[in-house]
Chain A
Amino acid sequence: MGRNFGRPVRRLEDGRFIQGNGRFVDDVILPRQTYAAFVRSPYAHARITGLDAAPALQMPGVVRVMTAADLAGAPDMPCGWMIHSRDGAEMKVGSRPLLASDTVRYVGEPVAVVVAESRDQARDAAEAVAVDYDELPVVVDCGDAMAPGMPQLHPAISDNLAYDWELGDEAAVDAALAVAAHRVELTLRNNRLIPNAMEPRACNADWDAQDEKLTVWMTHQNPFGMRTLYSAYYGLAAEHSLRIVSPDVGGGFGAKAPNYPEEVVVAFAAKLVRRPVKWTADRTEAFLTDAHGRDHLTTATLGLDAEGRFLALKVDTIANMGGYLSTTGSLIPTYMYGTMLSGQYVIPAIHCRTRAVYTNTCPVDAYRGAGRPEAAYVVERIVNVAARAIGVDQAEIRRRNFIRDFPYQTPVLFEYDSGDYEGSLNQALALSDYAGFPARKAEAAARGKLRGIGVAAYVEACGIGPSAILAKLGGGAGMWDSAEVRVNPVGTVEVLSGAHSHGQGHATTLAQLVADRFGVPIESIRIVQGDTDRIQAGTGTYGSRASVGMSATFNACEKIIAKGRRICAHLLQVPEDSVRFADGVFASAATNKTIPFGEMAAAAHAANAFPTREIEPGLVESSFFDPPNFTYPSGVYVAEVEIDPLTGVTEVAAFSAADDFGIIANPMIVEGQIHGGLTQGIGQALWEECRYDPDTAQLITASYLDYGMPRADGLPEFRLAFGCAPSPSNPLGMKGCGEAGAIGSPPAVINAICDALAIDHLDMPARPEKVWRLLHPKAAG
């Protein structure tokens, strides 16, 4: 721990936000601003038989109406991750134009865009665009998508099947299951979620004819990836003539990482109308079109020996992709999912089959955890079903099966780097007073309440990722990250970061790191993020991968210090290898003189005290860090619930989380990440569920009136503890903490509910009526 690093330093960026000086995309109004409104399909599946923009063009303030015809040269939306089916065939990609021209495949799919002088005028005119549709039958449920006779979404893709993928040794699994002393089977759904970052998607595109440059302000988790796509793929402008700015991003949770059609269309529109075009989604559009998360239907079988040791796990999953494959939609239920099915346990044989199917729903992509929560849910649920079947305590069955030796090669590709699973379990049991639970259960019973306790252990893969490994798995882009550290003549420091905060506080944590490395006040450091004109390259923030950008920053700092030592060797007239740097001061055993970091910076720029043919003037260093492996954060969570048997309402009475994130940069920020993740996971377990009408595929949960968001009053105060098994995969020993809470909490809550009700399983969310019906099976209806 340094003076800053490792401590709960208050956030440097907060001053702006608490005074209303945050800058989100919709806050930007450019000179000659115009506004875009999209014409969206009201049907989930229909053929477009006619489109007449003429009435809209007559409306006041309309600048332009664009349809697919105006984008004739633009390529279809790409899917960025190639998955091969088990027979070796490439996945089948249904073509997805920027604007639909002949068929629409989900409600809300964009069909045309109106650009007008004001937001209201754009909306008014969008309603006047006349589109004729021939409705087609729909399929909503991923369990139905492959059934004979179902509507087919894409020509030449039979059974709506995008791919049929597998991982692991099926024969070995079958053989082990055949001789297992115990076998348990479980069918479950992982409910579809709507990410709901509070800031809706927004963009503002401006073509500057004088500079021949396109600037796109966009609320996004990865502006660099967007620049590459917009230039190399869409040809909107060459990379050096294209600037993507993601200023403050109001939450992302994965849903601001994909490439979406609306933003691309707005960029094309700006070039066409030669004026800035702004689009800000309203919440209804966010519900309809932000990439959704989860939506799996899974059957799993676990085999155990007579002592309750796991022998084999077989998992068969159907994953709902929605109407099209989103940017990384294909990756989530495969390499982000099947690879995590070993959980924290020694399971000698694992097999996973995933079939990804198209349905008439919004495309599905990453949402906080992305594949790993789905895996943890399967493993942690079936472990409890097994514990119940063989009569072993849920904590004890985990203890019996934990991985204890690291690195550990799982049967599903990944090699876990480090961990202390039993340590986390012990911490969690202590934190939750697991031993005292029977007394609390009895006390609740006396009040007429059913109390249950649920343990869940998770492990996840973060810090994505080793680029070469990802390429082998089908990835289309390198996943290193970058940092450029610029030390100014008077000693202030700018860090140009390829990681990009959307709430994680990089402006503080990176500054903590740099302040301690250089021994300078934290206020003298400024972190620059999210602007491709300032930062040359980066990979953005998602998948709890800030440790990658953090490591790049660390390495760049090391280069600065190395150069500082060379400069100081000249200033002190001592041999370079005698120069040490500590606590902000260069010193050498060969002299009493010392040089503070700031003086070294001044000297580097003055360039008059060292031979500039040997050492270049100036003080700028950059680093690209490509990690050798993923990092594997882990933890054990204990949820305690109380159920009112009269109404079926479940209350989370207590929640304890013991996590191991390796080295922690700022415990205050890490705790905040856990709070948010836990809340989203509890939301998934209790309230959140995206529902489409099965007959029309209309989105039923299209507003906060029907989509149950977690609020302040339904949550307990969380109890947190941290262990620390540092990751060997980066110079800082960090693992990543952004998603953990959302991964471990759904199974913990459902395990607790099942414990309270003494049942094997119920699907999320545990709506009151669902619970009530389980308790009163004879009730009417």
Chain B
Amino acid sequence: MTVALRVNGEDVRIDVTDRTLLIHALRDHLRLTGAHMGCDTSQCGACTVLVDGVAVKSCAMLAGQADGCEVVTIEGLARDGALHPMQAAFAEHHGLQCGFCTPGMIMLGIDLVRRRGAADEATVRSELAGNLCRCTGYQNIVKAIAAGARDMAGAA
């Protein structure tokens, strides 16, 4: 089937089989490999992207379900070489080690700010229920998201 998407601001059409997951469409067809696949049961959140503005697990969505949607991936955040505040906060607060979970964490962080504004660390911890990290013990991810949220609120 043909799927039409607007990905990171660009209109694209891709030919995929009906069973293609959005994550595979992004990674294999569009070569946007920032979103990762970390599990089979839709629990790790490494594949998180924004579809029509809200965070979704792109492993739990068919490419076809996203037909006509606007998709933003980690690759689409930085503008003219300037990092998104949430990206910058991860670097500043050492919110990543191996970097595999990071794109999903950053996308979730942005969704969190949309819903909860400048959240405190306790809120951030509970909002991370669907994002696993094996490296950081979450300590600095929580700090990074809380700081990124403050920066986003400040910038808005």
Contact = CB atoms under 8 A, between A and B. Distances in A.
Q: Do A and B bind each other?
A: yes
Interface of A: 10-11, 13-24, 26-27, 29, 119-120, 196-200, 248-251, 253, 280, 282-284, 502-505, 668-669, 671-673, 675-680, 703-705, 709-713, 715, 717-718, 741
B40 A282 contact: yes
Contact of B75 (A20, A282, A710): A20
A120 B140 contact: no
B92 A503 contact: no
A120 B17 contact: yes
A198 B98 contact: yes
14 contacts: A17-B99, A19-B75, A20-B34, A21-B75, A22-B102, A24-B33, A120-B17, A120-B19, A198-B134, A671-B94, A679-B136, A712-B124, A712-B138, A741-B137
B142 to A, nearest CB: 6
B132 A711 contact: yes
B7 interface: no
Given A198-B133, A503-B135, A704 B97 contact: no
A722 to B, nearest CB: 16
A561 B31 CA distance: 44
A280 B23 CA distance: 14
B129 A711 contact: yes
B90 A250 contact: no
B83 A18 contact: yes
B58 interface: no
A19 B98 contact: no
Contacts of B17: 120
B78 interface: yes
Contact of B91 (A18, A20, A253): A18
B35 interface: yes
Interface string B9-47: 000000001010000100110011111111111011010
Interface string B97-129: 111111100100000000000000100111011
B5 interface: no
Given A13-B99, A502-B98, A669-B94, 19 more contacts: A14-B99, A19-B78, A20-B75, A22-B100, A27-B33, A29-B28, A197-B134, A198-B132, A199-B36, A251-B98, A675-B138, A677-B137, A679-B139, A704-B39, A705-B41, A711-B132, A712-B128, A712-B131, A713-B125
Given A198-B101, A712-B142, A676 B27 contact: no
A152 B74 CA distance: 52
Nearest to A720: B139
B26 to A, nearest CB: 10
Contacts of A668: 94
Contacts of B138: 675, 679, 710-712, 715
A17 B142 CA distance: 17
A704 B137 contact: no
A505 B91 CA distance: 12
Nearest to A505: B97
B132 A200 contact: no
Contacts of A669: 94
Contact of A703 (B31, B33, B39, B77): B39
A15 B35 CA distance: 16
A710 B137 contact: yes
Contacts of B97: 251, 503-505, 672-673, 676
A19 B90 CA distance: 11
B97 to A, nearest CB: 4
Nearest to B33: A27
Contacts of B100: 22, 24, 197-199, 248, 250-251
B50 interface: no
B96 interface: yes
Q: Please provide the 5 A-B residue pairs with the shortest distance between their CB atoms, ordered closest to farther.
A: A20-B34, A17-B99, A250-B100, A679-B137, A503-B98
B84 to A, nearest CB: 9
Contacts of A26: 27, 33, 36-37
Contacts of A504: 97
A286 to B, nearest CB: 9
B143 to A, nearest CB: 9
Q: Which among B27, B31, B44, B91 has the greatest number of chain A C-beta atoms within 10 A?
A: B91
A248 B98 contact: yes
A17 B102 contact: yes
B134 A283 contact: no
A368 to B, nearest CB: 10
Given A19-B74, A675-B136, A283 B46 contact: no
Contacts of A280: 37
A13 B90 CA distance: 12
Nearest to A282: B40
Contacts of B140: 672, 675
Given A10-B91, A18-B102, A19-B87, A24 B125 contact: no
A284 B92 CA distance: 34
Given A14-B90, A197-B134, A21 B139 contact: no
B63 interface: no
B141 A712 contact: yes
B91 A704 contact: no
Contacts of B38: 198-200, 283
Given A21-B34, A29-B31, A703-B40, A251 B135 contact: yes
Contact of B137 (A119, A251, A505, A715): A715
Q: Which among B44, B91, B96, B97 has the greatest number of chain A C-beta atoms within 10 A?
A: B97
B98 A20 contact: no
A256 to B, nearest CB: 11
Contacts of A741: 137
Given A249-B98, A250-B98, A678 B39 contact: no
Contacts of B43: 703-705
Contacts of B31: 29
B125 to A, nearest CB: 4
A675 B140 CA distance: 9
A141 B46 CA distance: 34
Contact of A10 (B34, B77, B78, B92): B92
Interface string B55-94: 0000000000000000001110110000100011011101
Q: Which among A27, A197, A680, A713 has the greatest number of chain B C-beta atoms within 10 A?
A: A713
A718 B121 CA distance: 13
A375 B39 CA distance: 32
B112 to A, nearest CB: 12
Contacts of A710: 137-138
A137 B26 CA distance: 45
A26 B28 CA distance: 10
A643 B118 CA distance: 32
Given A11-B91, A199-B38, A713-B128, A18 B135 contact: no
B16 to A, nearest CB: 11
A89 to B, nearest CB: 39
B124 A20 contact: no
A715 B138 CA distance: 9
Contacts of B135: 198, 251, 503, 672, 676
Contacts of A17: 96, 99, 102-103
Given A27-B27, A198-B98, A676-B134, A20 B39 contact: no
Contacts of A704: 39, 41, 43-44, 132
